[in-house]
Structure 1
């Protein structure tokens, strides 16, 4: 297995890698995160959500390729309501990357969203949004009730601006979720999306605390853990988490300052 990322290291501190855990991979794209988590937490079960047909086909191929019997894929988008929704498909290829073959990860397929693109096209000019599709949506609450999922240990969420929509669809389930890794944005990469402060207010008011903050002047990832679960950690783990939290916050502040300064200079020069 390749080297663990920082958030993966933290998750291994939160949970025993041999434990029977329940993970959700929301906005899974090709399912590569699900594959990776199951390589770390071999006894976990992962519910994997990806609404885009071509991406979902890759999820199924990866499940078969790695013989992942406890990966449960669903061609669904999670939102705050049950029904159907317009989905904005991304495509394109960054100029500094080799074009993928049939067996490798794509790049342009990772930015599709329930929201129309906004400044994401400014940040990544190579990204294209030429097509929309209609997808089926459900809520976190409805899915868990239907599938009799009573608790979730960890959620990996990558839904391109629709994070708050997913969380709002799980108001009843949130009290039974231990940790959430998600991307947040400081600027509107997608029109009318919730921003960093909106996500932070929502989760803070519902008993979660941010343990990792890797957000720069534009966007980044955060790891949120339920306070009541953190209190159960032993003193050594608490000290480790406290140090990691402080380090990532300092890096985030520096990245925000210098990145924001360069962003302003770039816009002034236009």
Structure 2
């Protein structure tokens, strides 16, 4: 090899010798600007490992993985708590799967024989979701990705995708993001009908992230939400998105509470019990069966302030 290198054109040899320097510089810069457990770079892809699950990352897209690689975390408390719950869950439902941040990490820890049902009606985002789930495939967990939209009634809905922000911000209502929107049509069903057709008599963990359509999903899920074994619910609700549906955050949260749930709000890295005074101080909320809240206390108290 040495003889071959010494016979090379001096300019070629110089450029060759600079490659390790350039590579070291790039790696050093990456370590300073991105934060994750590990990164795999192939000829066509970048794969980020969070320590629990792996994800395809598009470095040139600021919204890829919702910015996780540059921040080092994404909804960490929500992730930690729900991963713990998923580790003993038999049935988990993710409504608004996005690129699979929660679904992939739940799939990684769920017990053998369990089921994960994910809903993502936007084709571009569903493709990312399926690729990420495939990176974390488990033969002993049944994972079903659905292309339908959950709402309060079966039929069709229109999804508005902001061209500036991308498919992760799609909503059944045109949000005030500015710029142009792409509109796609998707089939809709209710969670109750889905559970009936799939013979699901209970859900252990339910996530709802639907960009303002929370009440529509909840109204179509009354039966399963009032089952003897109530699910733990992680739900996102913000005034800025829900107002375009003519609803409010308190309406959403009070609807869930009326079905026999106890609520908590995520604030930074803590959970706080939901009260009238802090009802809109966060955007992610956790609800548990008020009759069984004590059984989760041992874990929640580490993240809880009252």
| TM-score, normalised by the number of residues in structure 1 | 0.72
Correspondence 1:155-170 to 2 at 5 A: 155-170=206-221
Deviations along 1:110-147, one digit per CA (max 9) or x if unpaired, are 110111213xx2xxx6xx44211111000011000000
Q: Secondary structure at the match of 2:245?
A: coil
Aligned with 1:80: secondary structure? coil
The whole-number CA distance in structure 1 between the counterparts of 2:98 and 2:287 is: 22
Aligned to 2:81: 10
**Equivalent residue, structure 1, for 2:288:** 225
CA–CA distance in 2 between the matches of 1:56 and 1:158? 14
User: CA 1:10–1:66 in structure 2 vs 1: closer, same or farther (change >3 Å)?
Assistant: closer
Q: Contact between 1:26 and 1:78, CA under 8 Å: does it hold in 2?
A: yes
Does residue 192 of the first structure (1) align with residue 245 of the second (2)? yes
The 3-state SS of whatever aligns with 1:72 is strand
The residue that corresponds to 2:4 in the other structure is none
Could you tell me how far apart the structure 1 residues matched to 2:160 and 2:297 are?
A: 41
> Aligned equivalents of 1:20 and 1:220: distance in 2?
25
Larger radius of gyration: 2
Query: Which one of 122, 137, 141 corresponds to residue 188 of structure 2?
Result: 137
Structure-2 change in CA distance of 1:112 and 1:218 (3 Å): farther
TM-score normalised per structure 2: 0.64
**Per-residue displacement from partner, 1:138-178 (whole Å, max 9, x unpaired)?**
00110000000110011111100011110000111111332
Q: 2:101 aligns with which of 9, 16, 32?
A: 32
Alpha-carbon RMSD across the aligned residues, in angstroms, is 2.6
CA drift of 1:179 comes to 0.8
1:107-256 mapped onto 2 (5 Å cutoff): 108-118=166-176, 121=177, 128-176=179-227, 177-188=230-241, 191-214=244-267, 220-231=283-294, 233=295, 237-238=296-297, 240-242=299-301, 244-246=303-305
- Distance in 2, Cα, partners of 1:55 & 1:82: 22
Kindly provide the CA deviation profile for residues 238-261 of structure 1, in whole angstroms up to 9, marking residues without a partner as x: 2553563326xxxxxxxxxxxxxx
**CA separation in 2, counterparts of 1:51 and 1:8?**
23
CA distance in 2, matches of 1:129, 1:182: 28
SS at match of 2:152: coil
Shift >6 Å, 4+ stretches:
215-218
Check the 8 A contact 1:186/1:218 in 2, yes or no: no
Contact 1:158/1:182 (<8 A) preserved: yes
Counterpart CA distance in 2 for 1:179 and 1:64 is 26
Which of residues 162, 171, 182 in structure 2 aligns to 1:90?
162
Quote the residue 2:5 is aligned against. none
Partner of 2:45: none
- What SS does structure 2 have at the residue aligned with 1:172? helix
Report SS of the residue matched to 2:223.
Answer: coil
Match of 2:128 in 1: 58
Match of 1:41 among 102, 107, 110: 110
Look up the match of 1:265.
none
SS at match of 2:237: strand
| Matched residues, number | 220
